[in-house]
Amino acid sequence: TQYVYRFGGNVDDKGAGNKNLLGGKGANLDGMAAIGLPVPPGFTITTEVCTAYYANGEAFPDGLAEQVANGIAHIEGVTGKSFGDPANPLLVSVRSGARVSMPGMMDTVLNLGLNDKTVEGLAASSGDARFAWDSYRRFIQMYADVVLGLDHHAFEDALEIAKEDRGYFLDTELEANDLIELVAEYKKLVEGEWGKPFPQDVNEQLWGAVGAVFASWESDRAKVYRRLNSIPGDWGTAVNVQAMVFGNMGDTSATGVAFTRDPATGENAYYGEYLINAQGEDVVAGIRTPQYLTKAAREAAGAKPLSMEEAMPEAYAELAAVFDTLERHYRDMQDIEFTVERGKLWMLQTRSGKRTAKAALKIAVDMAAEGLITKEEAVLRVDPMALDQLLHPTLDPDAPRDVLTKGLPASPGAASGQIVFDADTAERRNDMGESVILVRVETSPEDIHGMHAAKGILTARGGMTSHAAVVARGMGRPCVSGAGSLAIDNTAKVLRVSGRELKEGDVITIDGSTGEVMAGAVPTLQPELVGDFGTLMVWADAARRMKVRANAETPLDAQTARDFGAEGIGLCRTEHMFFDAARITAVRQMILADDEKGRRVALDRLLPEQRKDFAAIFEVMAGLPVTIRLLDPPLHEFLPHREEEFAEVAEAAGVGIETLKQRANELHEFNPMLGHRGCRLGVTYPEIYEMQARAIFEAACSLAVAPVPEIMIPLVGTRRELELMKEVVDKAAEAVFAEQGKRIDYLVGTMIELPRAALMADEIAEVGAFFSFGTNDLTQTTLGVSRDDAARFLTHYVDKGIYARDPFVSLDVEGVGQLIEIAATKGRKTRPDIKLGICGEHGGDPASIEFCEKTGLDYVSASPYRVPIARLAAAQAAL
Ligand code: PEP
Ligand code: MG
């Protein structure tokens, strides 16, 4: 088996583009080398080795050692240096690289190959002893942390002490002799902590680092990241071993990161940061504040330190040419790492750049306009879930703001919340339903769960490509980074800024689009759905086959849904109309009545209210289809649950408190979700459905443009249930038509939310004109998992891979999906033109929507804010 793929020089093992095998980084290093870009030579150990490593109880497969030795020989051949050679030593970097990028989640070791002898060789060959010893110092520190797992604070403290002892302020003030002493100190620390001397054998160093990269795949933070991003655990990571190039060889050297377009706005302008005389990690770690790449960006920010364009014009021009080559080659915006070593440019990485939803839209629409991609490709480029970011509010520009300070606009969107200073508190308070802003000096991968829980992130340090910024953009959380005037005291849990002091729990607002940080909550505005969003949606609508409807039961929700492009209502849950203060009393009277007569008195009070509800919704939907579901939940949901409510409710309903308690007792069920609900209510109390049907028909007849109501019976399991309920509806229709002297068209159909209904769909379709898959209940009843209690254990199921994703969020295509397919096939057999849709939560989930397209459903129905997501996902599914 080929475990190792080489690149660089004139050797190419043809790994370009094979991300599954070589990981994203390896596939593109090979890709860049293959199109002649300057890439330091190296090799990639495949992701299959990682998978095998874990399958074999953490042992490397046979034959790997030989192939790795071969890879090292390749690097030696191209560079003319030798691994472990004291005279002319080769140094390598060892980096992880999964199929999809997991920024900051996994480990890297730089400067590998240094030991007590080769450090002298490096000093001689570079002519720079300070540089050589500083590299050794960095290597020991990194290796001790990443490979040996020693506490990094001890090393940081030793560095601080070394500076203090000598009266220095900056790391760069340390001279060669100081660093020699520091290296000795570091080696003592390693031996003390690890019990063995720092490894001098370069091959031992190499295998240690390879093992550490594999181990980082199973680190807690990597697992959390995978869970949040639905990345399977068995993908594994590749390992990239590459000749080191140095950005820290003086003032003609530099290192940087760049995007070929602005990842925040999508603007077609080079965007990035660099640092003179630094190593790559210095930029990403956010410790030194980097400088701008272009003159224009520097001037726009009013910054002084020279941009790369001004300080290194030749290397910059070469870099700009590489940007264009890469965009044309990969036909997408690229995120790039580079190093300039003594004036010579080297490319260390390229990948499709993470971007905000806004930038994703703009880049897709622009690239289609530039002719770089087609409109269909543009539609496929935007992650439907990312649209969520755009559909949320921004700050009201006219509202007063109490601005505390300004940082960098690292991830757009606005958020208000209580200040918290650590990730665990963020998570805890979020679980309690509070909105929080996570405030940190800088974030690290350990903070990821807190960043996820927070509504926004604010950091005192770090640039636009710092960890906080990259992760926040990926998650769609607003973020302000590098707000340098914040003084954060983590122990006292206070924040000082502009002479003011804020405590944990105080509310602030951040605007990730401007960088502003404000005291208190600032009101927000709804987003505008025009521009690039509108353009892409037009392209998406042209590409999709399925219709998109909304789940809505108020005129306001219906209007929002229409504004977002809904083509009708797929589910109007009528019970939501019963909880209104004006109606709940009548509903309770109906429930508490002794007989049908009593119930009818109460229902007569409800009728005009329901009629108004339906008329208002029909009006908003102006002739579009509206599916109205008759009463579904068990009746006890409408009765009070707390002792202190009983007296008041009893009085309002005109019954004694004992009667009320007794009735509540009678209605009590052990398993209400499998109890007296859905059409079972209609079977027992047909007068309820009769009133609802009457309200629908009276409302429909009252409008100039008559809608075509689709009346939907819930929780049907048998043909006979639907038949009985259809009789009730038809009778109500005829009565209303006779009274009004006019007729309208309507359909009666059913939800498919029980396995029996799916299996008997051919019979049920003899009565029902349409099916709507209620996949919330269908999931609950098929899996035998209570949708209301699943939260307690389902995350463990997902962690253990029993279900790849929460089946209440993303359809269990294998299991529940089969029932949907059976029902669709059987339904069509009886009634070829049967209308099929889905109205469970899955109707707004892109993966589930893809399944609906494959199954040939006519429409999906999603909550109003998910309608644009569903439109785009339906288009992608059709392409
Ligand atoms: C369903 O069960 O999927 C459904 C849409 O109905 P509800 O969520 O109201 O039970
Ligand atoms: Mg249901």
Pairing of strands 747-752, 709-713: parallel
Beta bridge partners of 417: 508
The pLDDT tens digits of the residues spanning 445-460 come to 778 889 989 999 999 9
CA–CA dist 833, 831 (Å, integer): 6
Kindly give, in sequence order, each residue whose CB lies less than 8 Å from that of residue 741, ignoring residues fewer than 6 positions away.
none
Nearest Cα to 254, choosing from 313, 209, 184?
313
The pLDDT tens digits of the residues spanning 505-530 come to 999 999 988 899 999 999 877 676 77
Please name which ligand lies nearest the alpha carbon of 838: 1
Kindly give, in sequence order, each residue whose CB lies less than 8 Å from that of residue 588, ignoring residues fewer than 6 positions away.
638, 639, 649, 652, 653
Please name which ligand lies nearest the alpha carbon of 788: 1
Query: Mean pLDDT across the stretch 152-164?
Result: 90
CA–CA dist 575, 631 (Å, integer): 6
Question: Tokens representing 294?
Answer: 């272009």
* DSSP-derived secondary structure letter, 784: T
The pLDDT tens digits of the residues spanning 253-278 come to 999 999 999 998 899 999 999 999 88
Nearest residue (CA) to ligand 1, atom 1: 774
Beta bridge partners of 411: 479
Nearest residue (CA) to ligand 1, atom 4: 774
Query: Mean pLDDT across the stretch 686-714?
Result: 95
C-alpha 422: how far from chain center: 21
Mutate to test the pocket of ligand 1, among 673, 753, 810 (most ligand atoms within 8 A of CB): 753
Which pLDDT belongs to residue 284?
58
Alpha helices in 654-742 (DSSP H): 657-667, 679-684, 686-701, 719-740
Which pLDDT belongs to residue 343?
95
**Angle formed by the axes of helices 643-653 and 581-592, to 10°?**
80
Percentage of the chain modeled with pLDDT above 90: 73
Which pLDDT belongs to residue 410?
81
CA–CA dist 495, 517 (Å, integer): 12
Helix (H, G, I), strand (E, B) or coil at 478: coil
Beta bridge partners of 525: 394
Q: Domains in the chain, please, with CATH?
A: 50-243 (3.30.1490.20), 254-355 (3.30.470.20), 392-525 (3.50.30.10), 544-634+669-878 (3.20.20.60)
Helix (H, G, I), strand (E, B) or coil at 746: coil
Whether the CA torsion 554, 558, 563, 564 is positive or negative: it is positive
Which pLDDT belongs to residue 466?
72
Ligand 2 center to residue 43 CA distance, Å? 54
The pLDDT tens digits of the residues spanning 382-411 come to 999 888 778 766 888 788 999 999 998 888
Please name the residue that has the structure tokens 């983590």.
Answer: 490
Contact between 725 and 689 under an 8 Å Cβ cutoff? The reply is yes
Ligand 1 center to residue 386 CA distance, Å? 25
The pLDDT tens digits of the residues spanning 636-686 come to 888 887 787 788 888 888 888 888 888 888 888 999 899 999 999 999 999
Helix (H, G, I), strand (E, B) or coil at 505: coil
Contact between 150 and 190 under an 8 Å Cβ cutoff? The reply is yes
Which pLDDT belongs to residue 102?
82
Q: Per-residue pLDDT for 866 more than 70?
A: yes
Q: What are the Cα distances from residue 179, in Å, to 89, 183, 288?
A: 19, 6, 20
Mutate to test the pocket of ligand 1, among 576, 715, 777, 816 (most ligand atoms within 8 A of CB): 777
The pLDDT tens digits of the residues spanning 285-316 come to 556 678 999 999 999 888 889 999 999 999 99
Q: Per-residue pLDDT for 771 more than 80?
A: yes
Locate the ligand 1 atom nearest the alpha carbon of residue 551 and give its number: 5
Kindly give, in sequence order, each residue whose CB lies less than 8 Å from that of residue 467, ignoring residues fewer than 6 positions away.
103, 104, 284, 285, 286, 442, 443, 444, 445
Kindly give, in sequence order, each residue whose CB lies less than 8 Å from that of residue 833, ignoring residues fewer than 6 positions away.
none
Which pLDDT belongs to residue 287?
61
Q: Which residues are catalytic?
A: 467, 839
Q: What are the Cα distances from residue 789, in Å, to 41, 593, 641?
A: 55, 32, 19
Ligand 1 center to residue 777 CA distance, Å? 6
Q: Per-residue pLDDT for 114 more than 70?
A: yes
Neighbours of 331 (CB within 10 A): 13
Q: Per-residue pLDDT for 826 more than 90?
A: yes
Which pLDDT belongs to residue 554?
86
Whether complex ipTM tops 0.85: yes
Least confident span in 77-86, 638-647, 808-817: 638-647
Please name the residue that has the structure tokens 């990312």.
Answer: 386
Q: Per-residue pLDDT for 834 more than 80?
A: yes
Which pLDDT belongs to residue 289?
75
Which pLDDT belongs to residue 863?
85
CA–CA dist 537, 875 (Å, integer): 9
**Mean pLDDT of the residues in the chain:** 92
Q: Per-residue pLDDT for 93 more than 80?
A: yes
